[in-house]
Amino acid sequence: MASTQFTLFTLGCGSAKPAPPHQPSSTVLAIRNNLYMIDCGENAQSSFAALRLKRTRLSHIFITHLHGDHVYGLPGLIDTLALSGCTQEITIHTFREGADILYRIFKFFSPNLPLKISFNIIEYADAHIFDDDNVSVRTVALDHRIPDVGFIFEEREHPRHIIPEMIDRYAIPYSEINNIKRGADFHTPEGIIIPNAELTTPPAPPVSYAHISDTAYIPDLAQRIGPVDLLMHETTYLNDREKDAAARGHSTAAQAAMTARDAGAKALLTGHYSSSYRDLLPFLKEAREIFPNVILNKELLTLSLPL
């Protein structure tokens, strides 16, 4: 049974200079009714609204690095959330410098926020940074012009599915259902043990997603990412501009495909296109010559995982 509780929304997949139809980088993951944003470039809140995402479900924002095209939309988004009456807690995962800058901006422009904003300080390193009931998140250090990390989201294990007929057959009380979903056997009042395998079916496998933006090609990055259901890896340039990519801390479509292949990813999602390109089909063609399962990213794209 496929999970239907892990969905990716692309708000923007362009690079530093907006070139319609592309907008600067921003992605949202919906995991079991909670929203997790990765980067927040300009116009992210407009795409957020166009996708009809619920503002009150946004709880975490992960910033890959402190270049403007990945953060300029954040002050406006926070202000809009405040004006909309949102009162939830939002944690921003960023470097120390980012927390200091953003705190001052919020304090100046939105001094009376009804939201509770907190910061989780991350390091330029491969590290585990966050856990909640839905997902575990770790970082991988990338190779860009400033400290920059990718994020790997690994969904928590789902509980087993209890078979409704078994509840009636064995008169299972409500208080026992969660234990059974976690794998426990059921003990009847007569002392008979009903094996869990008879009462339940296996859960859907957990989903994993890697978000790799703004990096030069790193040969050992694939091993550090590991197998994932979907890898979003920046494809700023085509391979005929490999030297430009290396000089500017970016990757080509071919290099992203090599990383997807070597990591054991099930699918590759392109993105962070240079504004010098209008036709994106060559990105698809170049990547598919190395790795067959490639998805061409675009604004407002929605993908339910696993694919």
Query: Active-site positions?
Result: 69
Residue 180 CA to residue 159 CA, distance in Å, equals: 9
Q: Compute how many other C-beta atoms are within 10 angstroms of the C-beta atom of residue 205.
A: 14
Residue 240 CA to residue 282 CA, distance in Å, equals: 11
- Tokens 């994993």 correspond to 208
Beta strands in 95-148 (DSSP E): 116-121, 127-131, 135-141
Closest CA to 234 of 256, 262, 266, 258: 256
Helices (H), the chain: 44-50, 74-83, 96-109, 164-169, 174-181, 196-199, 221-225, 242-248, 253-263, 281-288
**At a CB cut-off of 8 Å and minimum separation 6, what does 299 contact?**
10, 11, 12, 13, 21, 22, 23, 47
The token pair that represents 193 in the structure block? 């043990």
- Whether the CA torsion 229, 56, 51, 69 is positive or negative: it is negative
Residue 48 CA to residue 30 CA, distance in Å, equals: 12
The token pair that represents 85 in the structure block? 């009456």
3-state secondary structure of 5: coil
